[in-house]
Amino acid sequence: MLPKENRLKKKKDFERVFKEGRGFKEDFLFLKVIKNNLKINRFGFLVGKNFSKKSTLRNKIRRRLSEIIRLKTPKLKNNFDAILIIVPSLEIKDFWEIEEAINKIFLKAKLFRDSK
């Protein structure tokens, strides 16, 4: 699970990312990213009822995304807030397909550190 300091919680933070953030789309994910003035990255996940009416399924997807992000955190640049928005076709994907899509979308957004 993602540590508390790496989670977006407040409504004003979500609104700021939505208003001012850059957007990237990959397969079944949509990413909004904006720089912050902190030394850490913060992530939020939006899995709406259009994805599934069952909260257990929505929470399962959130947990999967959170774990993938937690594992990727050391490889990411610092100082940004990001929101991952889920498109309904994600439920048929497995963990590895989700991880591959997150890699692609992070590469598009240039969030990985340069490998030197």
The per-residue pLDDT for 33 is 97
Terminal-to-terminal C-alpha distance of the chain? 29
Q: What is the pLDDT of residues 10-52, one digit of tens each?
A: 999 999 999 999 999 988 899 999 999 999 999 999 998 888 8
Kindly report, residue by residue over 70-87, the tens digit of the pLDDT. 999 999 999 999 999 998
The pTM of this model reads 0.89
| Domain boundaries of the chain, sorted by first residue | 4-106
Quick one: pLDDT at residue 27?
Answer: 82
Average pLDDT over residues 101-105: 94
Residue 116's pLDDT is what? Answer: 42
CA distance 7 to 66: 9
In whole angstroms, what is the distance from residue 33 CA to residue 53 CA? Answer: 27
Q: Which CATH class is domain 4-106?
A: alpha beta
